[in-house]
Every structure is written in C-alpha cells, then in structure tokens.
Structure 1
Amino acid sequence: MLKLVRLALTAAILTAIGVRLRRRARMPVQPPAPPAPRAAGRTRMGLVWAVIAGAVALTLGAAMVPTGPQAVSEARAAVYQAQQSAMTVVMGATGKSPAPTPTPTPVEPTPAATPVEPTPEATAVAPTASAVAPTATAVAPTPAATASALPGIPAACMLSGPVTVRPISPRVRAAVNRQWRRIERWLREHAPRTYASLGAPGRAGTVALAEAQTGLEFPDDLRASLLRHNGMSGPLAARFSFGEEQVRGVREIRDQWREDCALRVGRGDPMSRLIRVGTLTEVDADTGHVVASMVRPEPIWPSYHAMLRDLADALEQGRPVFGARATVKGGLLRWSDAR
C-alpha cells in the first residue's frame, strides 16, 4: 500500500511539473507583459492542484479497496506471520526448531483389535541345551509322565531329566582327537571305503539329551569321541569297527540302553550303570572302565581313550586287538583271526 501512495504522489508531482513546463514553453519570447490579474492565476493553479488532489484521492481509494487476489495475499501473509510467531515461541522454550506439522488427512475408522492376553516369557521360550549352565551336581531323572512309551519299552525306562551340556576337559579332548587322527590317517591310506563310513561330528546338546534320557553321565573321553565321530554311516559291511565291535552313535547308545533297561525291569533287576558302546563292549558310567560284562567281569581297558589308543596301535603296527588282526580287502577294513 505504501508503494501505491508513493507512486500516486510521484505522479501528481510529475504532472504538476509537466504542466508548468508546458506553460513556459508556450510563452512567446517578448518583453514581459504586464502581470495578469492575480485572481486569474490563482484560480488556474487552484484548478491544477484540485485535479492533482483528486487523482491522489482516487489512487488512495483504489489502493484501500481490497481486490480478490489482494485479499488472498493478505490472508496468506497473516497466516505465515502467525506461524512464524508460534515457531519463535517454541524455539525460545525448547531451543530446537519444531518439526513441520503435516496436513491432517481423513482416516477411515478401523475396527478395534481383539486384545491378546500376554503369555509368561518362561513358557514362550523353550530352553536350549547350550543356554543351561553346567552344574556339578547331577539331578536324578524321573520317569517321563508325558513321554509316549516305545513298543516293548516300559515307562520306567523312558527317563526325562534336566538337559545340561557339561564341559569336557581340554586335555582329555586333545588326547582323544590325537588317537582319532591316527586312525583316520591309516584308513585314508589303506582302507578308503571304510574311511568314508566315519560319521560326522556329534553335537554336545545331543549327547546331553542322551544323558538325561538314560540318567547316566558319559565319561569325558566317550563324549569327546562322540563329538569327533557320532557313530558310523553307510552299509553295515563297510562301516568301521574293531574286531566285531561296531562303533555306535549317540542315539544308538540311548536306544540300546532302553532295551537293556526293559530286560532288567522285566527281571526285577536294578537299572544298569553300563553304557553299551559296541556289540559287547560297555563303558562304566561311574569308573569310565571299558568292560564286556557278558564275557568277563574285569575291565578290558581302563578308559575309552585307552581303547582308541590300542586300536590305533593295532592298525599302524599290525598287532591284534580283541583276538583279531586288521586286513584290507577291496578298500575295506577287515578283521581276521590272529591265531
């Protein structure tokens, strides 16, 4: 609006100057005539100034009357000024520039969701074997109330105890792996088909589960061996064995214990503390001795590691083990009578 007023005043002044110059340009170059009556000059000048005042008044009046676009511009300016004032207040209070407020859009109402009752975290997360800290004290397992009995296996032999992954002595594990490397090297060079039957490494959680389902703690050297090779695979005739003894995996050991348990329960005998690791060989869970209770009562080897060491010696040196000597036929390990 100030610009319009300035333009109007400038136009009026320029008009007056233009009129004065035109009057002077029309005057003849003659000696000055006697002055006209002052009343007439004053009347003409009064008319000129009246015209200028009228033009200014019209211009101001037009500027004061808001047009459509002008009204919109003034409204936008007012809204912008209000937003700037609000932002100034917020910044002064918080010290941060407020985030721009998005234009709200209509949202159709949605039906309320059915509330779900939260379940306790203890029942939502299944415990894993690796998450349970090993304990020194073993908890005696009890018959599983919900376990489905296998055919011919009584409920008393379907144990369910705490699954605990117990640590293995690094020294024992290194010693067991050393003997297995000797056996693997000999089989790879002389009996590659039997070498291919060596089972994949076992899992500590699987071993811990078998311990819970039998109520027995496997000795460290037996567990280390199962973690190296969890039994054998492939055709039965091609599997690695020592003498007539098959090297069993974790599940085979567990299933054999359940069968032996069923026989003992049927006879009214107490549950055995022996872990059947072969056809005849067993490991005493209490002493770690390798025995053959069906043949003789005294131990055959003082430990499972000692049995693996004698087996590696028999392969490398050609000595008999369990009355049999190692031979190779068609890439397969065979045991012949040493006599």
Structure 2
Amino acid sequence: MNAMYQAGVVPGMSYVIFDHSQQEKAVVGKAQLVPKNEDLRDGMLYDLASLTKVVATTPVIAWLMQKHELRMDDPVQKYLPEIQNREVTIRHLLTHTAAIEGYIPHRNELAASDLIHALLTQEHIGHNLGLNIAYTDIGYVYLGLIAQRITGQPIQQLAQKLVIEHLGLEDEMTFHPDKQRAVPTEVNSARGGLIRGTVHDPKAAILGPQCGSAGLFASIDGLTKYGRLLIEDHLDGLLSEDTLQMMFIDQTPLSGLHNRAFGWKLLHSHADDHHTMIFHPGFTGTFMILDRQADAGLVFLSNRVHPTAANEAFLDWRARIIAAYLMDKDA
C-alpha cells in the first residue's frame, strides 16, 4: 500500500489492518490535488461507492428476510411487477447472476422518477440468467426499490435507521456528508467541476435516497467499526447467525463453487483449512476484506478517481495488495 502511494497511484489513503485486538492504522497523503492541494485528515469521509451495496443495502435485505417480508428465492416480479421476467429471483440479484442487460439513452440526464421507470422497463433479463456472474449496479438498485416497495421507505433511509443509527455510527457513516469533511473525487465538467460531498456515481446522484448501489460515505474508523461489528457481533445483534452465514457461503444458483455469497465476493485463506473471507470493492478506490474465523481484516479507503477516473493502474495495485495480505496473514 505504501509503495502504491509512493508511486503516485492514489493522492492519499487511509487504511486499517486488524487482527483480534491488534490494529495498525495509517492516514497519509492528500485529500485533494486540484484545484488546490489539501492534506488528508484523519476522520474525513470517503465516498464508498459500491461498498454501499454490502454495508447498507445487504443488511437491510437480510433484516427483511429475517422478518419474513421476503425470501431468497422469491421472484423479483412479486415486488417489481414492471420486470417482465418470472424467473429472476432475489438470489439472482444478490449474487449478480440476473443477466441484466439494456441501454438507456441519456441516462444521466433523466429525473429520478424517469430513471427508475427506465431501469425497470428498458433494462431486461438476458438469456444468461442463472448461468454466469456479471457484476452490475442495477441489481442492487432493484433490491433497494424492493425494500422500498415492502416498507414504504427509501433504501437509504432504511439503512440509516436500521444499520447506521443501530450501530451508533452516525458521526462516522452517512449519506449526507459535510462537504468540508468529505474527500473529493473526480473533477468532472459535466457535474460542474470538482465533486465533493455528493456521490460520484451519476445514477446514485440522480436517484438519491432511492439508490441501493452507491451513496454512502464513511471514515476509516467508521468502516472499521462496521467490519468488526459484522464479524464479531452480528452487527450488534441485527443479524441472526443463520443470516450472517449466508454472507460467507456461496449462494449462486450455478453448479459448482463460484465465490459469490449474500452480497459479498468470497476469498479463500491460504491457511490449511482454506476458510472463506469476504471482500468487496468500490469504484472510487475503496475495498474491504473481512475474515470472521480469524477475527481479522483489511479496510482500505482512497480517492483513486481524483482528479480523474482514468486510473487503471489502481486495479493492478489492488490485486497485488489483496494477494500480499492473504499470503502475509497466513504465513
């Protein structure tokens, strides 16, 4: 991680490596390079991007399952009748096996209600339903809308109440960050210049509280607390043991092992038992690995999209960091 920062791949970074009671934390570099330099400060809030899927939306869906408000293999059409497919299920959405396809012209210029209508009617379920994994944001937008149809509340409001406030993380995790405390992301002329304090993902910016795929901001301490509470205390009792196990076991409808659990991607320990860990990234330069069996994890936050999202080098470095973590932790 330090080598990646020294190579200039990210302006700055915050990370925590923890193992039981031991913890190493670092906050280094810049929060912003343009239009002016600004040092990264401990406690700043990062746009988590797709980590929102597993930190906010997944536990809400899990809670609804525990309340018997929906089931893993319910048809999506039961809750979203606009979807013209009777075979696609909640499981497909959670494991990215729904084969969602389609194109919406001028998508980023639509109003929220028009975008939701387009997502439900112009996207469709392809021929590869249940046959392979194709990661997409839209499945989690659908999950957020399903939660809203069941409860009458937008997904982000549900996550705020059920997850963030339940865990006492209101100061460290939010959908509405203070602009000066937020780490800037891209400089984007179509969005009026520097994006700071508003979500980077354009769909999420339009959908606002109805978006289940992105929109959450968190500090390094807040996300670390969340990770520890997930693997050590069932999110302070929010989730049952059976529900939590669903996040550590392959849940795909495909034959064989495909390393997609309830929301999370599965990694495998290099230890003799090859036990599973859970992993999820975010487009903005964030990711998290959690090892429940070893009570350990790696939480990494950066704004690799600043000043431009054209930063493919980060992806190679991220893969190297993950490999190094897995090898070193089990050495």
Note whether the superposition's TM-score is higher than 0.5.
no
Instruction: Give the shorter-chain TM-score range.
Output: under 0.3
TM-score calculated relative to the size of structure 1: 0.23
- The structure richer in strand per residue is 2
Structure with greater Cα Rg: 1
Higher RCO, Cα 8 Å, sep 6+: 2
- Of Structure 1 and Structure 2, the greater helix share is in 1
Normalising to structure 2: TM-score of the pair?
0.24
